[in-house]
Amino acid sequence: MSQIALSLVLLAVAALFTRSLEILLRVDPGFRPERVLVLSVDPTLIGYEGARLNKLYSSLLERLEATPGVLSASASHWGLLQRGGWQNHVEVPGYIPRPGEEVEANFNPVGAHFFGTAGIPILLGRDFGSRDGESAPKVAIVNEAFARGFFSGANPLGRTIGLGVNHYLGQFEIVGVVKDSKQNRLNERSVRVVYFPFLQMPPTLMGPMSLEVRTAADPAAITRTVRKELLVVEKNLPIYGVKPLTQQVRDSLVDQRMAAGSPRCSACSRCSLRP
């Protein structure tokens, strides 16, 4: 009887986790994962650094943009729905912090056309483009949570914010507001995010990047071609984590999927429950 009771409890718990997983799968991530291939590259492993690293990333994106079957390509420091992040101080003129409040936001350096490639809706202003290079005026795009939190929902276009403390990045003009998107998990609350061109970040802070490639058809069908084109630019380029963005979304739910699986009863070896 005790084994039966324990089995029923385990099944009930698994059913609850399954229900939670189903709800998460219907959550809007804030971007369009269909027909997007994602991959990570780390040229620092083969000696690239500083301005030379920035030049390589620009060449890789230019090559991808010219690849048949690719609609657009971009890059980001933290990718889409990947664990991790870069949180730092933000200076917002006119904003009065609450007692004990840390005036911070998540930073994500990205490439030109990032929001169009990722399918993150632009609510105000514009996407980053080729004109937003290292010698151009510094610009930033913020998400809804940032605009709501620091500007009380008022139009922030044209406002200037300061980014960083230990590594002060400078003053950036806000040129766009985008829809909130999930950063690490589908079940997280919206967080304040500020995006800026990776070319406008100090080259000494550059490192591995995630590449996002929006394709005309199934991204899995173009994976080999994308790899080949990247290796034309740098034959020793370390490439890893290659997968459709839809798979990356599913992979972000691995903990929930494991919890939703029926756990094996450990009470005795005769229990019939299996994962």
Q: Domain limits at 225?
A: 36-251
Q: Where are the alpha helices (DSSP H) in the chain?
A: 2-25, 50-65, 114-118, 144-151, 223-233, 245-251, 254-260
Buried (b) or exposed (e) across 75-91, using 16+ Cβ within 10 A? bbbbbbbbeeeeebebe
Give the helix, strand, coil percentages of the chain, each rounded to 5. Answer: 35, 25, 45
Whether 18 is in a domain gets the answer: no
Per-residue pLDDT of the chain (275 residues; tens, 9 = 90+): 667 766 665 554 444 545 554 455 568 999 999 999 999 999 999 999 999 999 999 999 999 999 999 999 999 999 998 877 899 999 999 999 989 888 999 999 999 999 999 999 999 999 999 999 999 999 999 999 999 999 997 999 999 999 997 778 999 999 999 999 998 888 889 999 999 999 999 988 999 999 999 999 999 999 999 999 999 999 999 999 999 999 999 887 755 454 455 444 444 433 333 33
Can you give the pTM of this predicted structure? Answer: 0.83
Dihedral through CA 142, CA 215, CA 208, CA 123, nearest 10?
Answer: 0
Phi/psi of residue 201, each to 5°?
-100, 145
In a domain, 172, yes or no: yes
- Per the structure block, which two tokens stand in for 111? 């490439």
Identify whether 106 is part of a domain: yes
Distance of CA 247 to the CA centre of its chain: 14
Per DSSP bridges, beta strands 86-91 and 122-125 are unpaired
Tell me whether residue 6 is in a domain: no
**Residue 136 to residues 20, 185, 205, 247, 273: CA-CA distances in angstroms?**
46, 34, 19, 36, 62
Identify which of 107, 197, 94, 103 has the alpha carbon closest to the alpha carbon of residue 143. 107
Let me know if residue 130 belongs to a domain.
Answer: yes
How many other β-carbons are positioned within 10 Å of the β-carbon of residue 9? 11
| H/E run at residue 74 | strand 70-76
State the Cα–Cα distance between residues 45 and 255, nearest whole angstrom.
30
How confident is the model at residue 253, as a pLDDT? Answer: 76
* Burial of 8 per CB tally in 10 Å (0-12, 13-18, 19+): exposed
Q: What is the pLDDT of residue 17?
A: 45
Please report the pLDDT score of residue 7 as a whole number: 60
How wide is the angle at C-alpha 212 spanned by C-alphas 210 and 189, nearest 5°? Answer: 75
CA-based nearest residue to 175, from 215, 224, 127, 111: 127
Supply the angle between the helices 223-233 and 50-65 in degrees, to the nearest 10. Answer: 140
Within a domain: residue 202?
A: yes
C-alpha pair distances (Å), 170 with each of 71, 139, 167, 180, 201: 33, 10, 9, 24, 9
On whether residue 221 sits in a domain, the answer given is yes
What pLDDT does 252 receive? 77
Domain count, the chain: 1
- Is 260 among the domain residues? no
**pLDDT reported for residue 269:** 39
